[in-house]
Amino acid sequence: MSAVWLRASALVVLALFGSTALGKDKQPTAIVVGGGLAGLTAAVELQDKGWQVTVLEAKPSIGGRSGLAASEWVGSAKLQPTLHAYLERFKLKALPAPEYVRTPGYLIDGRYQSQAELGKSSPSTAEALARFDKSLDDLAASVEDPLNPLTSHTLKSLDAMTAARWLDKLALPPTARALVDQRIRSRYDEPSRLSLLYLAQQARVYRGLPDSEMRAARLPGGSQALAQALGKQLKLVKTNAWVSAIVQEQDKVTVKVGATGYSADYVVLAVPLPALGKINLTPSLTALQNKALKDINYGWRDQMLLKFKKPVWGKARLSGEIFSDKGLGVLWVEPALKGGANLLINLSGDNARLMSAFGDRQMVDQVLIRFDTFYPGAREQFQGYELRRYGKDALVGGAYLAYGPGEISQYWRLWEKPLGRVLFAGEHTDALYPGTLEGALRSGQRAAGQAVDLFAGKSLEPAKPAAKAVAADKDEAKGGKPGFFSKLFD
Ligand SMILES: Cc1cc2nc3c(=O)[nH]c(=O)nc-3n(C[C@H](O)[C@H](O)[C@H](O)COP(=O)(O)OP(=O)(O)OC[C@H]3O[C@@H](n4cnc5c(N)ncnc54)[C@H](O)[C@@H]3O)c2cc1C
């Protein structure tokens, strides 16, 4: 063997070994597009694992849809385990809610009534609400696995049907129907726009957990406080950075903000679907993803904080989850740090859509006029407002995902699959808890885990069901009675 050949071979081995070693030692990099709770979670999880992460957020501040509330209601640790794990990590203390706000309240013809009071003043309405709860529970029981809601032809048929059609068949008396409509529209969207299977699947996720677990505590500073705590962990967050394009190449992906390009090994795309539709992707989304972008229904929910000189609602409880028969719901009293009395009102579904043509002040006036009829003098005591109109915000485009009829059958868990080096996160990508803080956080964790697996050369498995989410036992899940579905479909 000649000395020249030996030296050349040694160089090749060195070069090969060197590049492998370099690849192994190279710090993996990620760009997270969107500084809402999902993006921030993905970024923190990746950074914890030694990744170099850059968060790009279009707005001047992080936090996304984490809202207007100065003291937000959160569910119990049983209901929102991921949220509570982060609250614990960042030593954010949620204050237990008093018992009286854990049960829903009703504002009927402007008169506040607790559940117990309603039972006395209008037994027929209370009975009809209980009948609705029981029917929804029967529907939920028919979904054996909420991660797999399409296991039978019958369940697929539920997806083709709207929640409104099912409610029509229940034939609730008018006040009860108005209250049920309000509950569905403020949690998801207008019943006429909602897949019945989605309503059933969501009821299945929370089955066995009493409603009182939903408003178990208040978080001072709201979910914004969590967003800030997550943000503080991160080394590189760029705000006012609207991402217009993402270009994937064989060994990297480049994200465009104006004329600047940021490159990394992976991108976590944590923006709501309407905002995703405005980003130019190369290669483009799949045909199904593009169709989903146009189709998938988002609920509509605007939030307004009305500031009064004093609590014009007197001693009425107005706190917790209050549904009104006149479309004002959910509402609750907020701490007024600068004095006075603050009331947070959510306008949901078509009630909010109808007002989308109004200017901010006009919209507030519409609500004030109604509120003044319930609590005379409210307009005189009114001294200001803050407003979040998520449906009109181009960086959101709605409140949150709320599957419309036929959409689960087409798009179930579509956004959990990566597109090359791009991973999707955001509440809309979580199969169990869409439209919630829990869903946003879980999706960030899932996307970070996927990036780590891809970087390690592993193939991706679909996410496993969270143990707590499928808590109800199998016998319960099979609890659909004979004739239940035939009655439903007549
Ligand atoms: C009115 C209302 C009430 C709610 N109430 C509750 C509740 O009581 N309990 C509960 O658990 N959940 C509630 N939620 C849901 C919860 O707030 C959301 O699920 C969660 O905040 C969504 O987080 P996200 O990170 O998925 O999305 P977002 O918070 O929307 O974050 C996405 C981010 O991406 C940014 N972005 C968009 N496009 C681009 C771009 N091209 N380039 C860069 N950045 C971009 C946006 O500015 C935004 O900051 C409520 C939501 C609303 C709207």
Residues 250-263 pLDDT 10s: 999 999 999 999 99
Which tokens belong to 2? 């000649």
Q: Is the CB of 56 under 6 A from ligand 1?
A: yes
Q: Is the CB of 272 under 6 A from ligand 1?
A: yes
Give me ligand 1 centre to Cα 447, in Å: 16
Per-residue buried b or exposed e for 207-226, using 16+ beta carbons within 10 Å of the residue's own CB: bebeebbbbbbbbebbbbbb
Residue 432 lies in a domain: yes
Q: Is pLDDT above 60 for 313?
A: yes
pLDDT digits (tens, 9 = 90+) for 334-389: 777 677 888 888 889 998 898 889 999 999 998 898 888 888 899 999 999 999 99
d(CA 174, CA 340): 36
Give me ligand 1 centre to Cα 37, in Å: 7
Q: Is the CB of 395 under 6 A from ligand 1?
A: yes
Residue 489 lies in a domain: no
Domain boundary at 347, 375, 392, which?
392
Q: What is the pLDDT of residue 333?
A: 74
Residue 439 lies in a domain: yes
Give me ligand 1 centre to Cα 87, in Å: 18
Give me ligand 1 centre to Cα 398, in Å: 10
Nearest CA to ligand 1 atom 33: 34
Which is the closest atom of ligand 1 to the Cα of 399? 53
More confident residue, 327 or 370: 370
Substitution site in 400, 424, 430, 442 for ligand 1 pocket (most atoms within 8 Å of beta carbon): 400
pLDDT digits (tens, 9 = 90+) for 199-248: 999 999 999 988 888 888 889 889 999 999 999 999 999 999 999 999 99
320 with 385, same domain? yes
344 with 379, same domain? yes
Which is the closest atom of ligand 1 to the Cα of 62? 49
Q: Is the CB of 273 under 6 A from ligand 1?
A: no
Q: Is pLDDT above 80 for 5?
A: no
Using an 8 Å Cβ cutoff, are 461 and 306 in contact?
A: no
Which is the closest atom of ligand 1 to the Cα of 80? 11
Q: What is the pLDDT of residue 360?
A: 95
Q: Is the CB of 400 under 6 A from ligand 1?
A: yes
Question: pLDDT tier at 104 (50, 70, 90 boundaries)?
Answer: confident
277 with 307, same domain? no
Question: Which CATH number is 323's domain given?
Answer: 3.90.660.10
Per-residue buried b or exposed e for 38-77, using 16+ beta carbons within 10 Å of the residue's own CB: bbbbbbbbbbeeebbbbbbbbbeebbbbbbbbbbbbbbbb
Which is the closest atom of ligand 1 to the Cα of 40? 25
Q: Is the CB of 141 under 6 A from ligand 1?
A: no
Q: Is the CB of 97 under 6 A from ligand 1?
A: no
Give me ligand 1 centre to Cα 417, in Å: 20
Residue 111 lies in a domain: no
Is 461 among the annotated ligand-binding positions? no
Which tokens belong to 274? 């309407």
- What is the number of other CB atoms lying within 10 angstroms of the CB of residue 257? 18
305 with 247, same domain? no
d(CA 240, CA 211): 39
Give me ligand 1 centre to Cα 480, in Å: 35
Give me ligand 1 centre to Cα 363, in Å: 22
Residue 96 lies in a domain: no
Using an 8 Å Cβ cutoff, are 83 and 266 in contact?
A: no
Longest dimension (CA), the chain: 103
Which is the closest atom of ligand 1 to the Cα of 243? 42
Is 245 among the annotated ligand-binding positions? no
Q: Is the CB of 187 under 6 A from ligand 1?
A: no
Nearest CA to ligand 1 atom 7: 436
Question: pLDDT tier at 433 (50, 70, 90 boundaries)?
Answer: very high
Which is the closest atom of ligand 1 to the Cα of 426? 26
Give me ligand 1 centre to Cα 34, in Å: 9
385 with 439, same domain? no
Domain boundary at 375, 392, 409, which?
392
Q: What is the pLDDT of residue 318?
A: 63
Q: Is the CB of 440 under 6 A from ligand 1?
A: yes
Is 127 among the annotated ligand-binding positions? no
Nearest CA to ligand 1 atom 50: 436
Q: Mean pLDDT throughout 56-60?
A: 97
Nearest CA to ligand 1 atom 27: 36
229 with 305, same domain? no
Question: Which CATH number is 439's domain given?
Answer: 3.50.50.60
d(CA 263, CA 57): 16
pLDDT digits (tens, 9 = 90+) for 378-431: 999 999 999 999 988 999 989 999 999 999 999 999 999 999 999 999 999 999
Residue 441 lies in a domain: yes
Give me ligand 1 centre to Cα 188, in Å: 14
Question: pLDDT tier at 118 (50, 70, 90 boundaries)?
Answer: very high
Element (H, E) at 29: strand 29-33
Domain of 34, in residue numbers: 28-65+221-283+419-459
Q: Mean pLDDT throughout 85-89?
A: 98
353 with 383, same domain? yes
CA Rg value for the chain: 25
Question: pLDDT tier at 21 (50, 70, 90 boundaries)?
Answer: very low
Give me ligand 1 centre to Cα 378, in Å: 31
Q: Is the CB of 299 under 6 A from ligand 1?
A: no
232 with 264, same domain? yes
Nearest to 101 by CA among 223, 220, 219, 218: 218
260 with 310, same domain? no
Phi, psi of 320 (to 5 degrees): 95, -145
278 with 347, same domain? no
Q: What is the pLDDT of residue 73?
A: 82
271 with 304, same domain? no
Using an 8 Å Cβ cutoff, are 205 and 197 in contact?
A: no
Give me ligand 1 centre to Cα 175, in Å: 32
Q: What is the pLDDT of residue 130?
A: 95
Q: Mean pLDDT throughout 174-184?
A: 94
pLDDT digits (tens, 9 = 90+) for 32-44: 999 999 999 999 9
Per-residue buried b or exposed e for 455-481, using 16+ beta carbons within 10 Å of the residue's own CB: beeeeeeebeebeebbebeeeebebbe
Which tokens belong to 18? 């060197």
Question: pLDDT tier at 489 (50, 70, 90 boundaries)?
Answer: low
Residue 377 lies in a domain: yes
How many domains in the chain? 2
